[in-house]
């Protein structure tokens, strides 16, 4: 296909995997550690550097049209999350990191098998893959940590205020192990998953593209506002505080204490913009322009108490999950499953990032033998991840298939990618011609 598109052959190939987040949802952008693993599905790009300053992109999937631009004038349209914009994010991130105003051109053919808009991070995999392609074309070197940080930052050109989980695991993943990803400074530690149980991914088939709506950024802003109000309540300098983790670190207290502080400082009723302004002593104008992101300026309701409670409790669950994996007691699988179930309940009730189909799928998975099941990724659609005892796997897959995908009242297209067991895969790689 490369040959028929560009009339030449690729010089090298780059792959970057998608991921499944086992536990720790919507807390990376609050500064807290998360526990994902790479899946084997990935983005793969075939590349030929060219002498002209033209970037030509094609995709093996006919749904994604060809795109071409001059490599020294990269424009990323935030209003439409078109596929090539994710490539441009990675490209621009590297270009800016090295302070280059012009780049050589290239021909790229992109192929991928991560189901899109399903919470398995196909978009970040494309950003990371493009970043590594660009670095390779330039003949430069960066560490995996540097690459992950650059790509996390540059994906925000698309308009979503994501954390760094997806890009970090795409670069830092290693086959056979999940990773605890910690931020500031970014680092990854192996987490050995229990033998005797498997992680199964199931797609609710409700598509959610987080860049196409403001759901995601509203949550980021609610967490930011909660952090500021908590900081102010405890007499800290709240002006520069952006993340809930900063409040905990500045106060030097435990996550459990942060839950109590949240109960004292915030109320469960939603906050209006006026109330937030009164609490912080700022004008509506300052609030909109200096605190909120462009696509959240018209939001009228902020649920600060619920979001902060989710974040602090979820951050604690991640640490407990890692500890149980390390100590490996006899009932490891059951304990991990309980944490995953609690995580789903918190995402559904406190963070409100689930949807009826995900809740239904999680129930079905539990009914047919999962010890734990939860939504994974940003939510509002996409996939669940379930922890299933290995000896129940075959019946689990058959039963879930029948109960969720073969229902007469749901018009779902079941594909091979919809329900599958997964193992921790490896990270991004460059394949050079021998």
Enzyme catalytic residues: 166
If we measure between CA atoms, which residue out of 146, 154, 157, 178 comes closest to residue 17?
178
Q: What residues between 324 and 383 interact with ligand GLA by CB under 6 A?
A: 377-378
For residue 104, the minimal CB distance to ligand GLA (Å) is 30
Q: Which is nearer to ligand GLA, 162 or 424 (CB)?
A: 162
Q: What residues between 103 and 122 interact with ligand GLA by CB under 6 A?
A: 121
Among residues 22, 28, 204, 333, the one that binds ligand GLA under rule CB under 6 A: 28
For residue 31, the minimal CB distance to ligand GLA (Å) is 12
Ranked by CB distance to ligand GLA, the top (closest) residue is 162
Query: d(Cα 174, Cα 177) in Å, to the nearest integer?
Result: 6
For residue 281, the minimal CB distance to ligand GLA (Å) is 30
Among residues 2, 6, 13, 29, the one that binds ligand GLA under rule CB under 6 A: 29
If we measure between CA atoms, which residue out of 267, 169, 180 comes closest to residue 226?
267
Taking CB under 6 A as the binding criterion, the range among 77-85, 92-100, 132-140, 157-165 that sits at the site for ligand GLA is 157-165
For residue 26, the minimal CB distance to ligand GLA (Å) is 4
Among residues 166, 222, 245, 357, the one that binds ligand GLA under rule CB under 6 A: 166
Write each residue from 32 to 71 as x if it is in contact with ligand GLA (CB under 6 A), else as -, in one continuous string: ----------------------------------------
Taking CB under 6 A as the binding criterion, the range among 1-9, 21-29, 174-182, 229-237 that sits at the site for ligand GLA is 21-29
Taking CB under 6 A as the binding criterion, the range among 6-14, 26-34, 199-207, 413-421 that sits at the site for ligand GLA is 26-34
Structure tokens at 62: 């006919």
Q: Which is nearer to ligand GLA, 31 or 163 (CB)?
A: 163
Answer yes or no whether residue 428 interacts with ligand GLA by CB under 6 A: no
Q: Which is nearer to ligand GLA, 232 or 307 (CB)?
A: 307
Answer yes or no whether residue 222 interacts with ligand GLA by CB under 6 A: no
Write each residue from 263 to 302 as x if it is in contact with ligand GLA (CB under 6 A), else as -, in one continuous string: ----------------------------------------
For residue 286, the minimal CB distance to ligand GLA (Å) is 26
Size of the site for ligand GLA (CB under 6 A): 12
Among residues 163, 369, 424, 425, the one that binds ligand GLA under rule CB under 6 A: 163
Binding site for ligand GLA (CB under 6 A): 21, 25-26, 28-29, 121, 162-163, 165-166, 377-378
């Amino acid at each position: 296909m490369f040959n028929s598109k560009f009339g030449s052959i690729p010089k090298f190939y780059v792959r970057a995997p998608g991921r499944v987040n086992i536990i720790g949802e919507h807390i990376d952008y609050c500064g807290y550690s998360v526990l994902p693993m790479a899946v084997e599905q990935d983005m793969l790009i075939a590349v030929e550097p060219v002498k002209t300053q033209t970037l030509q992109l094609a995709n093996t999937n006919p749904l994604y049209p060809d795109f071409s631009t001059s490599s020294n004038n990269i424009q990323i349209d935030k209003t439409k999350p078109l596929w090539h914009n994710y490539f441009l994010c990675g490209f621009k991130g590297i270009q800016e990191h090295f302070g280059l105003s012009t780049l050589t051109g290239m021909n790229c053919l992109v192929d991928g098998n991560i189901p899109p808009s399903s919470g398995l991070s196909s978009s970040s995999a494309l950003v990371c893959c493009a970043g590594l392609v660009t670095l390779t074309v330039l003949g430069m070197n960066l560490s995996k940590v540097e690459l992950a940080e650059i790509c996390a930052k540059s994906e925000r050109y698309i308009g979503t205020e994501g954390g760094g989980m997806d890009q970090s695991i795409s670069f830092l993943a290693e086959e056979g192990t999940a990773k605890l990803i910690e931020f500031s400074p970014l680092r990854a530690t192996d987490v050995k998953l229990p033998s005797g149980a498997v992680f199964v991914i199931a797609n609710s088939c409700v598509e959610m593209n987080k860049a196409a709506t403001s759901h995601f950024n509203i949550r980021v802003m609610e967490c930011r506002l909660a952090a500021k109000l908590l900081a102010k309540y405890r007499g800290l300098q709240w002006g520069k505080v952006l993340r809930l983790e900063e409040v905990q670190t500045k106060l030097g207290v435990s996550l459990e204490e942060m839950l109590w502080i949240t109960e004292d400082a915030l109320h469960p009723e939603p906050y209006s913009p006026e109330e937030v302004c009164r609490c912080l002593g700022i004008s509506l104008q300052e609030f909109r322009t200096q605190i909120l992101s462009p696509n959240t300026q018209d939001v009228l309701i902020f649920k600060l108490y619920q979001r902060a409670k989710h974040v602090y409790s979820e951050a604690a669950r991640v640490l407990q999950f890692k500890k149980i994996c390390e100590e490996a007691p006899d009932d490891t699988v059951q304990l991990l499953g309980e944490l995953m179930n609690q995580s789903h309940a918190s995402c559904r009730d406190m963070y409100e990032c689930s949807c009826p189909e995900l809740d239904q799928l999680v129930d079905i998975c539990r009914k047919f033998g999962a010890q734990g099941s939860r939504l994974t990724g940003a939510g509002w659609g996409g996939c669940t991840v379930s922890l299933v005892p290995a000896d129940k796997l075959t019946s689990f897959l058959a039963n879930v298939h029948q109960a969720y995908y073969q229902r007469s009242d749901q018009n779902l297209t079941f594909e091979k990618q919809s329900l599958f067991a997964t193992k921790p895969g490896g990270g991004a790689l460059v394949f050079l011609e021998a």
